[in-house]
């Protein structure tokens, strides 16, 4: 029973340890190259991940697959010294980013450059850049566009030479250029005079531009004044024209109002007179018709009836001895006058 347990434990241990013992892990930014005892270097690169590796049979190389930087730096006394056309020595700080060509890391291993390809890249780049940048003159190196053009021109030649080491540069970046101390002092003085001359030219252009600007400002101010005067004149003309039109409209309105009012007053007076006349004629006609109606027998009877209806006799004292008695009450005419009032 103990033997069975030992076998099971050994199998479990083998299951857990076998993957790590039989696999090679290639991390991010690394390129794997496998060598076998019989077949030699495998003719392809192994990318990130796990790959089969037989213990004691396979051996591995892991190369840096990220961007490398070849630095030439004055502060580290590694600046690239180049002689210009005028035989002046210049010291160049530059950087060359490069990386292993995709799919060719195994060639570096097979050709034995694993430990030395970086040094070979530096020596190759130094020779080619010295030759390419030597075409610049002392004046050219002071002009950024010419320095960049020379660096870009050297890049294809550099990459052609680096192909033998299976790497390729992406750029040649010139950071700064310096001369020997004595020449640098002279160059700075010369550069100072050049800058001073350009500054004087710039000041002259500034004065000319300022004068031109002031002249232009005066012209603009004059044009604005003329335009303002012209606009004010147009405004006054339009204002006068509108005021005249408004006065004309108001006069026409007043005239129309007065004419219409006079016509209305005349019509009113005429109609009022006609109404008054019609009223007077109606009243006269009514009086005449009333008189004619009352003059008839029926009218007289009606008058008598109305008189009797309205008659209210109070205390009446008759004195027959009064001389006026017979005159007032002695006849029918007298009684009619008494009752009718006519």
Give mean pLDDT, residues 124-145: 85
Indicate if 28 and 123 belong to the same structural domain. Answer: no
Which of 68, 22, 58, 63 shows the shortest CA–CA distance to 46?
63
pLDDT tens, residue by residue, 324-336: 665 666 566 666 6
Indicate if 73 and 166 belong to the same structural domain. Answer: yes
Indicate if 19 and 57 belong to the same structural domain. Answer: yes
Termini Cα distance of the chain: 174
Percent of the chain past pLDDT 90, that is, above it, reads 18
Host domain of residue 136:
68-179
Last residue of a domain, one of 64, 80, 99: 64
Residue 239 domain flag: no
pLDDT tens, residue by residue, 67-113: 999 999 888 888 888 888 778 788 889 999 999 999 999 999 998 88
Residue 332: per-residue pLDDT: 61
Output phi, psi for 97, to 5 deg. Answer: -75, 135
Give mean pLDDT, residues 241-264: 83
Percent of the chain past pLDDT 70, that is, above it, reads 80
Indicate if 81 and 27 belong to the same structural domain. Answer: no
Residue 237 domain flag: no
Residue 250 domain flag: no
Residue 183 token pair: 């020449």
Residue 333: per-residue pLDDT: 65
Residue 188: per-residue pLDDT: 67
- Average pLDDT for the chain: 80
HEC sequence for the chain:
CHHHHHHHHHHHHHHHHHHHHHEEEECCCEEEEEEECCCEECCCCECCEEEECCCCCEEEEEEECCCEEEEECHHHCCCEEEECCCCCEEEEEEEEEEEECCCCHHHHHHCCCCCCHHHHHHHHHHHHHHHHHCCCCCCHHHCHHHHHHHHHHHHHHHHHHHHHHCEEECCCEEEEEEECHHHHHHHHHHHHHHHHHHHHHHHHHHHHHHHHHHHHHHHHHHHHHHHHHHHHHHHHHHHHHHHHHHHHHHHHHHHHHHHHHHHHHHHHHHHHHHHHHHHHHHHHHHHHHHHHHHHCHHHHHHHHHHHHHHCCCCCCCCCCCCCCHHHHHCCHHHHHHHHHCC
Residue 184: per-residue pLDDT: 60
Residue 285: per-residue pLDDT: 80
Q: β-pairing, 58-64 with 30-36? A: antiparallel
Residue 247 domain flag: no
Most confident of 2-16, 69-83, 175-189, 260-274: 69-83
Which of 56, 58, 54, 35 shows the shortest CA–CA distance to 45?
35
Residue 249 domain flag: no
Residue 231: per-residue pLDDT: 86
Last residue of a domain, one of 64, 87, 111: 64
Residue 91 domain flag: yes
**How many structural domains are present in the chain?**
3
Q: How confident is the model at residue 123 (pLDDT cuts 50, 70, 90)?
A: very high
Indicate if 81 and 160 belong to the same structural domain. Answer: yes
| Sign of the Cα pseudo-torsion (168, 172, 173, 174, in order) | positive
Last residue of a domain, one of 16, 31, 64: 64
Higher-pLDDT residue of 218 and 5 is 218
Indicate if 77 and 120 belong to the same structural domain. Answer: yes
Indicate if 46 and 85 belong to the same structural domain. Answer: no
Residue 100 domain flag: yes
Output phi, psi for 21, to 5 deg. Answer: -80, -25
Whether 289 has a pLDDT exceeding 90, the answer reads no
Indicate if 77 and 140 belong to the same structural domain. Answer: yes
Indicate if 54 and 34 belong to the same structural domain. Answer: yes
pLDDT tens, residue by residue, 28-38: 989 999 988 88
Residue 194 domain flag: no
Whether 167 has a pLDDT exceeding 90, the answer reads yes
Indicate if 82 and 143 belong to the same structural domain. Answer: yes
Provide the CATH number for the domain around residue 170: 3.30.479.30
Indicate if 91 and 142 belong to the same structural domain. Answer: yes
């Amino acid at each position: 029973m103990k033997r069975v347990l030992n076998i099971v434990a050994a199998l479990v241990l083998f299951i857990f340890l076998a993957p790590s013992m039989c696999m090679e892990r290639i991390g991010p930014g690394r390129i794997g190259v496998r060598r076998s005892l019989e077949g030699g270097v495998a003719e392809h690169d192994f990318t990130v991940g796990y790959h089969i590796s037989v213990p004691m049979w396979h051996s591995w190389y892991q190369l840096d697959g990220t961007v490398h930087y070849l630095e030439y730096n004055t502060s580290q006394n590694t600046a690239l010294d180049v002689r210009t056309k005028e035989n002046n020595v210049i010291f160049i700080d530059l950087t060359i980013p490069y990386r292993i060509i995709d799919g060719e890391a195994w060639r570096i291993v097979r050709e034995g450059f694993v430990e030395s390809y970086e040094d070979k890249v530096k020596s190759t780049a130094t020779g080619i850049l010295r030759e390419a940048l030597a075409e610049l003159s002392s004046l050219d190196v002071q002009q950024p566009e010419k320095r960049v053009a020379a660096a870009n021109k050297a890049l294809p030649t550099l990459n052609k030479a680096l192909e033998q080491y299976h790497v390729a540069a992406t750029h040649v970046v010139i950071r700064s250029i310096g001369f020997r101390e004595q020449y640098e002092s002279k160059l700075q003085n010369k550069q100072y005079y050049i800058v001073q001359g350009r500054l004087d030219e710039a000041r002259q252009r500034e004065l000319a531009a300022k004068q031109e600007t002031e002249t232009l400002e005066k012209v603009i101010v004059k044009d604005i004044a003329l335009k303002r005067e012209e606009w004010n004149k147009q405004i006054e003309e339009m204002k006068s024209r509108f005021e005249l039109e408004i006065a004309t409209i108001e006069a026409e309105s007043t005239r129309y109002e007065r004419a219409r009012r006079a016509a209305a007053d005349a019509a009113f007076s005429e109609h009022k007179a006609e109404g008054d006349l019609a009223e007077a004629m109606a009243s006269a006609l009514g009086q005449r018709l009333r008189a004619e109606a009352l003059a008839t027998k029926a009218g007289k009877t009606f008058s008598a009836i109305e008189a009797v209806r309205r008659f209210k006799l109070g205390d009446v004292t008759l004195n027959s001895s009064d001389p006026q008695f017979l005159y007032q009450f002695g006849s029918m005419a007298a009684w009619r006058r008494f009752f009718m009032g006519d």
